[in-house]
Structure 1
Amino acid sequence: MWRRIIYHPEVNYALRQTLVLCLPVALGWLFGDLQKGLLFSLVPACCNIAGLDTPHKRFFKRLIVGGSLFASASLLMQFLLLKNVPLPAILFALPLLLGVLGEISPLHARLLPGTLIAAIFTLSLIGRLPIWVPPLLYIGGTLWYGLFNWLWFWLWKEQPLRESLSLLYRELADYCDAKYTLLTQLTDPEKALPPLLARQQKAVDLMNTCYQQMHMLAASRNNSHQRLKRAFQVALDLQEHISVSLHQPEEVQKLVEQSHAEAVIRWNAKTISARLRLLADDILYHQLPDRFNMDKQLGALEKIARQHPGNPVGSFCLYHFNRIARVLRTQKPLYSRDLMADRQRRLPLLPALRSYLSWRSSALRTAGRFAVMLMFGASLGLLFNAPKPYWILMTIMFVSQNGYKATQVRIQHRAAGTFAGLVIAAASLHFAVAESLVLLTMLVITFVSYLFTRKFYGWSMIGFTVTAVYSLQLLALNGAQFLLPRLLDTLAGCLIAFAGMIWLWPQWQSGLLRQNAHDALEADQEALRMLLGPEQSAEKLAYQRVKVNQAHNSMFNSLNQAMQEPGFNAQYLKDMRLWVTHSQFIVEHINAMTILAREHTMLPPAMAERYLQSCEIALQRCQQRLEYDGPGQQNNVMSEAENINEGAMTVLELHVKRIIGHLNVMHTISSLAWSQRPHHGHWLLPLLRKRQDNQQ
């Protein structure tokens, strides 16, 4: 029972965050300096935003860099204010100076908001502490935060990776259930496929997270991680076989009408999903799995396949379920992969700086957005005679997210949670309560809030607001005076962040669909070159298959977010959803071809080369169709591919021909949809053309 509690992801996270915050407060209270303990406990908020609790092989190096940036930003803020530099000018320059971190790596990019929060928090300390105290506070707080998390991860033995693997196995179980529960409902892919795409998207996202954590934990060199490494390779095999589809709904319907195949296939799928959920719990709670056997289920499916040899559905399901059962029974992958083959390399500072100084740099746009929002927030504070508008600025930083919808949801949750928390705090401040009881209540509220913060941000904000008010009450004995100003500051910060996300260089996902579609087609093209080329390396094919899934995932994410943007073109996005549906079919065919190629099911070299040429022509036509609005060529690559082989077609040939068919449909959809696309930033085109003419 204790394993279920202590190893639960939310409990483990809440316990870690509560202890790292509350231990300094407890020590300060015991030694009679509660205010210093409260100030020291606020530094972990910057470390959380900066991602300094992420397990990493350069863990202490990142701590040194993070602590140095926090201290430098705090010292720079105080020095410039002493030199009478206006606060809006400081907050405009600081994000642009630190924005280059976003070009180095995604993990370094998280240091930008953390450093800005450290500089903003320094505003509340100016005049109360000597100039050298806040930098030392940040250095000491970061050191405490890093040492505590290092000890925690050392004690809890790969718990972050276990949590991700457990979620991946559960998502694969849900995906298997959803796919084969809808077995007879897949006649209309436009309606039936989107739920499956959402499941597939979550699974691929979790695979990507596990890849990153493998690198961070350096799993290839640590023997204690070998079991988790093997479990991840098993998950990759499972995803390969679960995601493959036959795409012959008429054959499925025929087999279901002629036999009880639907019940048997669902029986196999339910057995697999139940086993996956059991393995997810075993991984998370450090338990060894028991023996597994599904011979009865496979025997019933084999009988149906023998009784209907002319129908491909039975043999197809038997083949893939058999491979899945083998993996689940042996708990070993079908073949060994080099999980470190895609090791990410950091971009050096000077090349990152050159890339950052380009107008196309997303890091520059992000830094510019923060700079303008913070400058406006500081100017608004000065306009209302608030020389230290740190609460407005902190709200801007906390609610600003990468996407429009994410920022909108965060703003709604934060505003509602802050209002409810202030009401509760205002009512409770009227009671005279002992200091020790107040601290104990704050400890309980902090723990409960962290239990909900990752899934229910709005509810957690109620608790965090109550503890923030009581922290001000303990620090300055004037928490009641801050209630109404803090509410107004929160609303002002939310409005500034929302306006900034809409009007300040927004990364509209509907505008990014074309680039994501290009990336997906390029990943498909590279995979087909490997599959139909002369050299077929199992490791390279496995990694390229994952890249194909990830590229399609990015496109699917962009489409989902674009549907939630204001003023989107409904007809354009409806056509693009159909385009993405056919792209998913191609991904599943590439998954199936990867399995066949690994088992040495290949085409003759001359035939493979001609099929590859047809695929590349079809891919290039799709890419060119995304580039311009003019009339496209009407030649049908599928008709050319049909004449390559006059004999009986192999399974690999069927997959290639279906890929070409989907590409032809995608080209037709692009011809209709691309002319209807939204033109975000269309007013910039004349200016850009004029600049190009001047350069020529």
Structure 2
Amino acid sequence: MWRRLIYHPEVNYALRQTLVLCLPVAVGWLLGNLQNGLLFSLVPACCNIAGLDTPHKRFFKRLLIGGGLFAFSSFLVQYLGDYAVPLPIILFSMAMLLGVTGEISPLHGRLLPGALIAGIFTLSLAGRMPIWQPPSLYILGTVWYGLFNWFWFWLWKEQPMRETLSLLYRELAGYCEAKYSLLTQLADPEKTLPPLLARQQKAVDLINTCYQQMHMLAASNDNHHKRLTRAFQVALDLQEHIAVSLHQPEEVQKLVEQSHAEAVIRWNAQTIAARLRELADDILYHRLPTRFSMDKQLQALEKIARQHPANPVGNFCAWHFSRIARVLRTQRPLYQRDLMADRQKRLPLLSAIRSYLSLKSAALRTAARFAVMLAFASTLALSFNLPKPYWLLMTVMFVSQNGYSATRVRIQHRALGTLGGLVVAALTLRFQVPESAVLLVMLTLTLAGYLVIRKYYGLATIGFTVTAVYSLQLLSLNGADFLLPRLLDTLMGCLIAFAGMIWLWPQWQSGLLRQNAHDALETYQEALQKLLGDEESPQKLAWQRMRVNQAHNALFNSLNQAMQEPGFDARYLADMKLWVTHSQFIVEHINAMTILAREHTMLTPQLAERYLQACEIALQRCQQRLEYDGPSSTNNVLETDTPFQQGATTVMERHIKRILEHLGVMHTISSLAWSSRPHHGRWLSRHLRKSA
């Protein structure tokens, strides 16, 4: 029972965040200096936003950089403020100066909002203490935050990676169960595929997260992570075999009508799913797995395959399920991969500055968006005679996310949560409660807020707002005077962030759909060149397979976000949804071909070359249709009839022919969808340009 409680991801995260916040407050209260304890507890909010709690092989180096930037921002706000430099100019300059961190890496890019919030917090402290005290507070607070998190991660070894792996195994279980429970409904892919695509997308996202964590922890060189590295390799094998498709719905229907194959296949899938969920719990709660066998299920499936040798579905399912069962039984991967194949060197500072100064830099656009929003918010605050508009500026920072949809959801939750929290605080401030009881309630609300913050941000905001009001009450005994101004600040901040996300260099995913589709086709071509060429390294084939899955995942994510964005043609997005569906089928066939290539089920060199030429022609036709604004007939110059030998068709050939069929449909969809594309912005360009 205690394992399930202490190792549960939400509980573990909530305990860590609550303790790092509340221990300074408790120490300050015991020493009779509650005010400094409350101020000290503000620093972890900057560290959280800056990602300084992320386990990393350069953990302490990032802490030094983060603490230095916090202190620099705090000093700059006070120093320039003493020289009567207007606040909008200060915040604008800081955002543009610190924005270069986003060009070094995404993780470094999180230092920008953290440093800006440190400067904004300082506004509430300026004039109340010496100029050196707030920077010192940030330096000491970052040191405390880093030491506490280092001790916590040392105490709960490998826990972040265990949580991700556990989620990955659960997602694979749900994907396998859902895929084979819809066996007789695959004839209508428009209805059955979207939920499967969503599950596949979540699995690939978690695989990407595992890769990132391994790079950060240098897991390949750490003996403590060998067991988790092996579990990750097992998960890659499982995803490889689960995410394959024969895509012959008529053969599936025929086999189901002639036998009880549907029940047997579902029995196998449910057995695998149950085992995967059990392994997910074993990984998360530090338990050794029990023995596993599914011989009866496999024997029933093999019997159906023998009874219907002319139908490929039985053999296909039996072969892949047997490989999955072998991996689950031995808990060892089918072969060793180079999990660090995508090593990327960090961008040096001078190179990052050069890239940052380009108008195509995404980091520059992000920094400029923050700069303009903060400058406008501070100008608005000064026009209303608010000398220290820290709540308004913090609201802008807290609700601003990378995309339109995420920002809109965060704004809704933040506004409603703040309103609810202020109402609760207004009702409870009337009671005369001892200081110790107030601190206990604040501790309880903080723990409860962090328990639900990942799933219910609005509810967590209610608790955090009540805690913030009571903090002000304990610091200055006038928390009730802040209720209405804080509500107005929150609403204004949400409106400014929403306007900035729409009008200030928005990253519309609808405009990126074409580029992501083009990139996905290019990745498919590289994979087919390796599979049908002379590449024999299983590691290189496996890594290219993951790149194919990641490219399609980026395309699918763009489509999902584009369908929630305002002002775009629904008909065009519906056509692209069908295009992405056929792209998913190609990904599944490439997954299957990678397995066959590793098993040395190859074609003759001459036949492989002819198939490769046909696939390249079809892929280039699709790319041309996406790239050029012209009549469809002018883009078919590469079209040719490639005669193939007649006779028995191998499994590899079957997959290639299915890929060619899907590419033909995708070309037709692209030709029809082009007329209903959006007619504004980058869509007016005749040629596709590489996105920055």
2:428 paired with 1:418: no
Q: After TM superposition, give the deviation of residue 647 of structure 1 in Å.
A: 3.5
1:632 CA drift (Å): 2.7
Distance 1:644 1:637, change over 3 A: farther
| Cα deviation 1:603-628 (Å, max 9, x = unaligned) | 11122122112211111111111112
Q: Which amino acid aligns with 1:66?
A: G
Which residue of the partner structure matches residue 641 of structure 2?
640
1:533-572 equivalence runs, <5 A: 533-572=533-572
Q: Percent identity between the aligned chains?
A: 78
2:655 match:
655
CA RMSD between the two structures: 1.5
Q: Deviations 1:513-564 (Å, cap 9, x if unpaired)? A: 0111111111111111111111221111111111110110011011011111
Are the counterparts in 1 of residues 511 and 683 from structure 2 also a CA contact under 8 Å?
A: no
Task: Tell me: CA distance 1:684–1:311, structure 2 relative to 1, closer, same or farther (3 Å).
Answer: closer
Cα distance between partner residues in 2 of 1:654 and 1:526: 19
Report the number of matched residues. Answer: 686
The alpha carbon displacement at 1:582 in A equals: 0.7
Change in Cα spacing, 1:685 to 1:268, as seen in structure 2 (3 Å) is closer
Deviation at 1:677, TM superposition (A): 1.7
* Structure 1 residue 682: Cα displacement: 5.5
User: Secondary structure at the residue paired with 2:675?
Assistant: helix
Give the partner amino acid of 2:620: Q
Q: Which moved more, 1:643-652 or 1:357-366?
A: 643-652
| Partner Cα separation in structure 1 for residue 512 and residue 542 of structure 2 | 27
Q: Distance in 2 between matches of 1:126 and 1:593?
A: 64
Question: Offset at 1:284?
Answer: 0.3
How far does residue 345 in structure 1 lie from its aligned partner after superposition? 1.6
1:254 corresponding residue in structure 2: 254
- Is this contact kept in 2: 1:105–1:347, CA < 8 A? yes
The amino acid of 1:492's aligned partner reads: M
Partner of 1:299: 299
> Which residues of structure 2 form unaligned runs of 5+?
none
Q: Which residue pairs with 1:215 in the alignment?
A: 215
User: Which sits farther off after the overlay, 526-535 or 445-454?
Assistant: 526-535
The whole-number CA distance in structure 2 between the counterparts of 1:559 and 1:356 is 28
The CA deviation at 1:640 is: 2.5
What pairs with 1:151-166 in structure 2 (closer than 5 Å)? 151-166=151-166
Deviation (angstroms), 1:679:
3.9
CA deviation map 1:175-234 (0-9, x unaligned): 011101111011111111111000000000000001111111111111111111000000
- Which range is displaced more, 465-474 or 93-102? 93-102
In the alignment, the residues of structure 2 paired with residue 676 and residue 79 of structure 1 have an alpha-carbon distance, to the nearest angstrom, of 55
- Structure-1 separation of matches of 2:510 and 2:680: 9
CA deviations over 1:552-602 (Å, ceiling 9, x no partner)? 001101101111111221110000001101110110010000000111111
User: C-alpha distance in 2, partners of 1:269/1:637?
Assistant: 43
| 8 Å Cα contact 2:509/2:561 also seen in 1 | yes
Q: 1:592 aligns to what?
A: 592
- SS at the partner of 1:309? coil
Structure 1 equivalent of residue 354 of structure 2: 354
Match of residue 444 from structure 1: 444
Q: How does 1:298-377 map to 2 (within 5 A)?
A: 298-377=298-377
Distance 1:161 1:680, change over 3 A: farther
The question of whether the paired residues in 2 share the 8 Å contact of 1:614 and 1:637 is answered with: no
Q: How does 1:377-526 map to 2 (within 5 A)?
A: 377-526=377-526
One-letter identity of the residue aligned with 2:511: G
Equivalent in the alignment of 2:240: 240
Give the counterpart letter for 2:143 in structure 1: L
Q: Is the 8 A contact 2:513 2:558 kept in 1?
A: yes
Task: Give the alignment of 1:72-83 within 5 angstroms.
Answer: 72-83=72-83
Question: C-alpha separation between the residues in 2 aligned to 1:395 and 1:401?
Answer: 12
2:454 and 2:144 mapped to 1: Cα distance? 23
Q: Deviations over 1:611-657 (max 9, x none)?
A: 1122111111111111122113475988724x132332211111112
Contact kept, 8 Å, 2:602 with 2:652, in 1: the verdict is yes
Q: How far, CA to CA, are the matches of 2:548 and 2:615 in structure 1?
A: 16
State the alpha-carbon separation in 1 of the partners of residues 340 and 247 from structure 2: 34
Say whether the 8 Å CA contact 2:677–2:683 is kept in structure 1: no
Alpha-carbon distance in structure 2 between the residues aligned to 1:23 and 1:356? 40
Runs of 4 or more consecutive aligned structure 1 residues displaced over 3 Å after TM superposition = 633-639, 682-686
Secondary structure of 1:676 counterpart: coil
The secondary structure found in structure 2 opposite 1:409 is: helix
Q: 2:612 corresponds to which residue?
A: 612
The 3 A distance-change label for structure 1 pair 560 and 400 is: same
Instruction: For residue 124 of structure 1, give the secondary structure of its aligned residue in structure 2.
Output: helix
**How far, CA to CA, are the matches of 1:141 and 1:676 in structure 2?**
55
**3-state secondary structure, aligned to 2:415:** helix
Verify the 8 A CA contact 2:173 2:272 in the aligned structure 1: yes
Write the deviation string for residues 290-319 of structure 1: whole angstroms up to 9, x where unpaired. Answer: 000000000000110011111111000000
Partner of 1:673: 673
- Partner amino acid, structure 2, of 1:74: S
Question: Deviation of residue 140 (structure 1)?
Answer: 0.5
Distance 1:268 1:308, change over 3 A: same
Name the aligned partner's letter for residue 678 of structure 2: P
The offset of 1:346, in angstroms, is 0.8
- SS of the residue corresponding to residue 446 of structure 1 reads helix
1:137 corresponds to: 137
Deviations along 1:59-105, one digit per CA (max 9) or x if unpaired, are 00000000011111111111111111111111111111111111110
Counterpart-to-counterpart distance in 2, 1:683 and 1:184: 40
Which whole-Å CA distance do the structure 2 matches of 1:419 and 1:24 have between them?
Answer: 28
Asked if structure 2 preserves the Cα contact closer than 8 Å seen for 1:272 and 1:325, the reply is yes
Query: Which residue is equivalent to 1:693?
Result: none
Q: Tell me which moved more, 631-640 or 575-584.
A: 631-640
Mapped to 2, the partners of 1:538 and 1:441 lie a distance apart of 57
Q: Which whole-Å CA distance do the structure 2 matches of 1:195 and 1:515 have between them?
A: 24
* Contact 1:517 1:555 (C-alpha < 8 Å) held by counterparts: yes
Contact 1:629–1:675 (Cα < 8 Å) also in 2? no
1:184 aligns with 2:184: yes
| Counterpart amino acid of residue 328 in structure 1 | L
Deviation of the 1:28 alpha carbon? 0.5
* CA offsets 1:428-479 (integer angstroms, 9 cap, x no match): 1111111111111111110011000011000000000000000001111110
Structure 2 SS opposite 1:371: helix
Structure 1 Cα separation of the partners of residues 612 and 69 of structure 2: 51
SS at match of 1:401: coil
Distance in 2 between residues matched to 1:636 and 1:175, nearest whole Å: 41
Q: CA deviation at 1:21?
A: 0.2
Aligned to 1:578, the other structure's residue is in SS state helix
What does residue range 64-103 of structure 1 map to in structure 2 within 5 Å? 64-103=64-103
Which AA in structure 1 matches 2:615?
A: C
Check conservation: 1:638, 1:661, Cα contact below 8 A.
no
Counterpart amino acid of 1:332?
R
In the aligned structure 1, how far is the partner of 2:20 from the partner of 2:30?
16
Instruction: Give ranges in structure 1 of 5+ residues lacking alignment.
Output: 690-696
Separation (CA, whole Å) in 1 of partners of 2:353 and 2:406: 29
Structure 1 counterpart of 2:627: 627
Q: Match of 2:125, SS?
A: coil
SS of 2:632 mapped into structure 1: coil
Q: Take 1:67 and 1:85, find their aligned partners in 2: how far apart are those partners?
A: 24
Structure 2: distance between partners of 1:70 and 1:680: 41
More displaced 10-residue stretch of structure 1: 402-411 or 356-365: 356-365
Which amino acid is the alignment partner of residue 468 of structure 1? Answer: A
- 1:629–1:671: 8 Å Cα contact kept in structure 2? no
